[in-house]
Structure 1
Amino acid sequence: MNKQAFHNDDAILDVYEKPGLGQGVLLSLQHMFAMFGSTVLVPILVGINPSIALLSSGVGTLVHMLLTHFKIPAYLGSSFAFVATMQALMRMDGYPAIAQGAVAAGLVYVVVALIIGKIGSGWVNKVLPPIVVGPIIIVIGLSLATTAANDAMMKSAKYNLTYFGVAIFTLVMTLFFQMYFKGFTSLVSIMLGIVCGYILSCFVGIVDFSGVQKAAWFSLPALELPGISYKLKFYPAAILTMAPIAFVTMTEHMGHIMVLNSLTKRNFFKNPGLHRTMMGDGLSTIIAGFIGGPPTTSYGENIGVLAMTKVHSVWVLAGAAVFAIIFSFIGKIAALIESIPMPVIGGISFLLFGTIASNGLKILVDDKIDFGEKRNMLIASVILVVGIGGAYLQLGSFQLTSVALSTIMGMLLNWILPKKAASERALEEKKHEKQEGKIYQ
């Protein structure tokens, strides 16, 4: 990891900078706490062992870093885009079908990465200018707002003030550590907020310790290995239903890279290249499929931590991946983290997801996007409402999520709409005629 010539002065720790051992451990744990809930929730929803998801996320993140030459501070966790399909496959054929589908989805990434490697990624800036990128990043953050709110209220059918109170307390404590402390305490404000929320949760009795009591101190993840754990069999339906979803997660992948570009003031599409980031994502998903985990994707939760702390070090993210691998073998610790109540995660998510959305606004401001122009207003309006509203396109078992749909619609509008509306062109012509008339007079 050679130090780059460019240094982002807005970052407390830039991409290549290494924290001290003690600070690095706490900063890495903070990232692990941020991704843990979602990473283990996906396998729980599907019926896969959560410890395998932890292992595959840690291994996948390190593989992604290797392929991108340790230039991108991204964390890869379990993907929610495949949940509905995986649940259906689990009911019909069990995990072997999911494994083949995951490998197929990963191979789609690999093929696309090879194509981009040949044709280059210069087209990205043309199809994704700031007027498209800014609203998409806002959508990525705000489309998760409902998730944060549901977590804060523990997805309870009946409103419970205790749950929401814990969420708000967690949020307030995080803001308190962020704003009223400086130095390292401010950097680990998210982790401190989670700890404070967890302690309050214990006092109000919403923490379930039964999983911790049952868990063993040391246990091997229940790996699902082809040809060993199950007999090899061809599942064409699994491949045909899961492989196309990769095209959906690719748009979200590019959205996350755009956020990271904005945060780190770099262009990861050019260096290390979009083909490398795609290849890293694809190989991570293939590895997950082979060992028994769900497909992986880059995580907005960890991008939110990067945005809040301004610590962009790849060393910190690599440390989080190592901790995820270690904790997949230590049942007690994994179970303890898994016992963190949803309201605590929801309280933190209010801030993390909002921070992502705010970075979208920052792009629009920094690039001086003029919303007096109809074109800009129309593109942003469609992206925001389609994306945040949760509209999606369903074709059989294939679903285009709201984030992916709004991204595609934004790119199409940017391509189709003229630079100026007819009324704006007519007004400019009148102004030009008046100016010419004055000159001739």
Structure 2
Amino acid sequence: MSDSNLAPTDYNFQVKDCFLGAQMLFVAFGALVLVPLLTGLDPNVALFTAGLGTLVFQIITRGKVPIFLASSFAFIAPIIYGVKTWGIPGTMCGLAAAGVLYMLLSLLVRIQGNDIIKRVLPPVVTGPVIMVIGLILAPVAVYMAMGKTGDGAIVLYPQAKAMTISLLALATTILVSILGKGVFKLIPILCGIVVGYIIALIFGFVDFSGIAKASWFAVPNFVMPEWNLQAIFFIVPIAIAPAIEHFGDVVAIGGVTGKDYLKDPGIQNTMLGDGVATSLASFLGGPPNTTYSEVTGAVALTKVFNPAIMTWAAIAAILLAFVGKLGAILQTIPVPVMGGIMLLLFGAIMVIGLNTLVRSGDDLMEARNLSIVALILIFGIGGMSFSAGQFQLQGIGLAGILGVVLNLVLPHGKKE
């Protein structure tokens, strides 16, 4: 008798969880698909690897943290460069290695404790590295907002109309992020894309021919990595910044739920989960995964702290990955719409790096700190490169390694 009375209650609870999970995916959706659309990867693969990565993360952390993992913005610049230079398979090799770096850092934390990461990768290193990522991408955003390809070589749309679309998409994103209420405040990117898409429709910039050709059910276009040492040395240093951000994300979700996830399940396990999810995504042709602050905001808004909700979000992402027409629809979004969003997005990445330095409280005019920050920025933005035979380091990768080395070898001043 009691079992039959409980059954409907359990069923209703599961249905409720399912809808809550779908809502979490909706919050993450705009940012999740933006990365593959900007970098030339398959958005359906990104959906699949986000869902799979989240499930793997939950297994490794024993289902204790209500976090959703999806496409990382920090890797947009290296993926764009990598796809252009080595193709998608070679780039995936470097991205898989970035996941391995996370795993090594988790092992280091397991052996030495949480403070070892702060000593090796302090804000004076991670802050300017994050800034370099945003600043290097700035020309790509401007070109696309003007209706050109990312390198500015080809004009795709008339500049005046393209800028109208991009600036309206940008304005919408900003206004929703500032004035939005409830769930709308969590999806400013998605709102900006929708408004930009509508204006692009009015201008006749949207081509629907690919949607008709696409089937309803289709296996995502998975791509296996190919060994490429240059891609590894180029991309791995870039993983330093998001690895540090991972600490902040775990602390943030802990602040929302009132639990200390640094101790249980432990930062070593959350970072391991992030690393395995990133490498797994790369082995399927998807972008690296990272913890999504949008979803953390949704958790705070809804007060739903049950990590099982993220299981449903992950399942929803995996199911949507096999809807062929969804990917075709996403591919119809014109370049100026993406460019408008990128103007804010890449600027925000730079500001995050700047804020990392400001919040650290370090005296940037102290000779040691000035040298580290200045050289990271100039080497990264200026495009400094170093090569020896087939080995080559440049841009963000070189700047990241330089910062780590300088932090370890330069003596501290008397004040410090």
TM-score range, shorter chain: 0.7 to 0.9
Once the two structures are TM-superposed, the CA of residue 202 in structure 1 deviates from its matched residue by 0.7
One-letter identity of the residue aligned with 2:289: S
| Residue 144 to residue 65, structure 1, CA distance change in 2 (3 Å) | farther
| Residue 295 to residue 33, structure 1, CA distance change in 2 (3 Å) | closer
Q: Is it true that 1:260 corresponds to 2:249 in the alignment?
A: yes
- Cα distance in 2 for residues equivalent to 1:415 and 1:102: 25
Mapped contact 1:198–1:344 kept (Cα < 8 A): yes
Q: Is it true that 1:408 corresponds to 2:401 in the alignment?
A: yes
Pairing of 1:67-82 with structure 2 (within 5 A): 67-68=60-61, 69=63, 71=65, 73=67, 75-77=69-71, 81=78
Identity among equivalent positions (%) equals 31
- Cα distance in 1 for residues equivalent to 2:34 and 2:200: 16
Which of 118, 127, 133 does residue 120 from structure 2 map onto? 127
Q: Is it true that 1:35 corresponds to 2:35 in the alignment?
A: no
In the other structure, the counterpart of 2:216 is: 217
Which has the higher Rg, Structure 1 or Structure 2? Answer: 1
Q: Is it true that 1:371 corresponds to 2:364 in the alignment?
A: yes
Once the two structures are TM-superposed, the CA of residue 199 in structure 1 deviates from its matched residue by 0.6
Once the two structures are TM-superposed, the CA of residue 98 in structure 1 deviates from its matched residue by 8.7
Pairing of 1:53-92 with structure 2 (within 5 A): 53-68=46-61, 69=63, 71=65, 73=67, 75-77=69-71, 81=78
Pairing of 1:184-333 with structure 2 (within 5 A): 184-221=183-220, 238=227, 247-257=236-246, 260=249, 272-273=265-266, 275-288=268-281, 293-294=284-285, 296-298=287-289, 305=294, 321-333=314-326
Q: Return the TM-score normalized by structure 2.
A: 0.72
One-letter identity of the residue aligned with 1:219: A
Once the two structures are TM-superposed, the CA of residue 165 in structure 1 deviates from its matched residue by 1.9
Unaligned runs of 5+ in 2: 1-15
Q: Return the TM-score normalized by structure 1.
A: 0.69
One-letter identity of the residue aligned with 2:246: I
After the TM superposition, which of the residue ranges 409-418 and 206-215 deviates more from structure 2? 409-418
One-letter identity of the residue aligned with 1:29: F
Unaligned runs of 5+ in 1: 1-18, 226-234, 426-441
CA RMSD of aligned residues (A): 4.4
- Cα distance in 1 for residues equivalent to 2:147 and 2:290: 21
Q: Is it true that 1:161 corresponds to 2:160 in the alignment?
A: yes
Structure in which a larger fraction of residues adopt helix: 2
Mapped contact 2:130–2:241 kept (Cα < 8 A): no
Once the two structures are TM-superposed, the CA of residue 167 in structure 1 deviates from its matched residue by 1.1
In the other structure, the counterpart of 1:432 is: none
Tell me the secondary structure at the aligned position of residue 207 of structure 1.
coil
- Cα distance in 1 for residues equivalent to 2:392 and 2:252: 30
Mapped contact 2:281–2:289 kept (Cα < 8 A): no
| Residue 131 to residue 34, structure 1, CA distance change in 2 (3 Å) | same
- Cα distance in 1 for residues equivalent to 2:181 and 2:95: 44
- Cα distance in 1 for residues equivalent to 2:396 and 2:213: 39
In the other structure, the counterpart of 1:146 is: 139
Number of equivalent positions: 383
Mapped contact 1:281–1:296 kept (Cα < 8 A): no
Tell me the secondary structure at the aligned position of residue 238 of structure 1.
coil
